Amino acid sequence: MTSEALVTSPFGVGAVITSLIAISFWLDRRFRFFSWLGTAILVITGGAVLVNLGVIPSAVGGEELNPVYIFASDYGVPLAIVLLLLATDFSQVRSLGRPALVAFMLGAIGTAVGAVVGVWLTAGGIGGEAWKLGGQFAASYIGGGINYAAVGNALGTSETMFATGAAADNIMTNIWMVMTAILPVILIRWYPSIRNRVDSAKQRGTAFWNRRELVIQDLILLFAISFTVVAVAEAITPWIDGWVGFEIPPVIWYTTLALLLALFTPVKRLKGGEEVGNFILHFFFATMGAGTILGTLVDKGPVVFLFISIVVGVHGLVIFGMGRIFKVEVEMLAVASQACVGGPSTALALASSKGWTSLVTPAVLLGVLGYAVGNYVGILMGQWIHWLLGSG
């Protein structure tokens, strides 16, 4: 796919992506409709259009990814997470404990139910590995891609089915990112909202557009701290994995370190972390969009995509339907849903891009919680679905 793209050089792809980000921010600021959509959706959609038109290379598959995509996914996301968490205002976070956990539990239950319903409806088309996909996506849509890979390995999913599921998942993740950004706007009249809080003006993200004083010394310190936090997390991860006997994602450790620094040091007084973190996240959005290759859905791709559409559809009905009964704020439901389906990176990206500042830290923590429990749930669900299919 890379050789077929019009622009393939790292600087060329970087120029296209930064131009897309700049246009998206201009549209968001200039027109009400695009402001309603938000910059995250504009960049993801723009990236998907550009890659399917052959303007830029794909962000998935192939022997060698463009360095811009590698930067965004492997380096940009950890740095952005740390930069945004270092600016955490814990006075806004303390009141979110119970609603956040309720929202996450509803999302997890919705995913589990959706996996069972999805396999039941599509097992004939998927074939003998339907139960394995049921377990993998139960894990993935409670935790994230790490859980998808881990459970697939544990259940022995074939390479072909693994790749087909991953391709369909990549498209669905982007679609659901868009949906979780739009649904709160549509549903807000029937749900509690963070806009009703005292700090509603800030929650609407108006402060994001204000000019702010940035000090070069603050930015240098923030980057030094962020790189150090990620480096330390990656250095201790293998040692801890060997000690406990199983793998723990580095995101858990750099999230923990960043939150400890934000809680016990004056690092949150440094200016510029939120702005730079948001900008880096938009590179990640563009990479997400560039991974939406419609042509990858071949052979069993359509029925697998139908399966995960059912999983996500049931998940959405449960979390937003039951969430209204439990009177959870609609923005919290959206972030919790994104934490389940996309993981901490996309959940944080949603909260940050929509200006829901009090939900940035819960977004990451819920995503990390999903990582922690996703493998257990996925393996148990896979084996249970296997038993149901066998007994049926």
Q: What pLDDT digit, counting tens, does each position of 142-180 carry?
A: 987 768 877 887 788 887 787 788 778 878 888 898 899
Residue 252 lies inside a defined structural domain of this protein: no
Residue 152 lies inside a defined structural domain of this protein: yes
* Residue 147 or residue 27, greater confidence: 27
Residues spanned by the domain of 381: 2-60+91-200+272-391
Residue 106 lies inside a defined structural domain of this protein: yes
State both tokens at 389: 């299919």
Domains: count for the chain: 1
Instruction: Mean pLDDT check: name the lowest of 239-243, 295-299, 350-354.
Output: 295-299
Closest CA to 328 of 355, 364, 369, 366: 366
Residue 188 lies inside a defined structural domain of this protein: yes
Residue 32 lies inside a defined structural domain of this protein: yes
Q: Three-state DSSP class for 193?
A: coil
pLDDT recorded at residue 346: 83
Q: What pLDDT digit, counting tens, does each position of 111-125 carry?
A: 999 999 999 999 888
Residue 367 lies inside a defined structural domain of this protein: yes
- Between CA 197 and CA 206 the distance in angstroms is 15
Q: What pLDDT digit, counting tens, does each position of 54-99 carry?
A: 999 988 766 688 899 999 888 988 898 888 788 766 655 555 578 8
Question: pLDDT class for 200, splitting at 50, 70, 90?
Answer: very low
Helix intervals (H) in 31-96: 32-37, 39-52, 67-70, 77-86, 90-93
Closest CA to 115 of 358, 374, 390, 356: 374
Instruction: Decide if 97 contacts 362 (C-beta within 8 A).
Output: no
Residue 253 lies inside a defined structural domain of this protein: no
Instruction: Decide if 389 contacts 370 (C-beta within 8 A).
Output: no
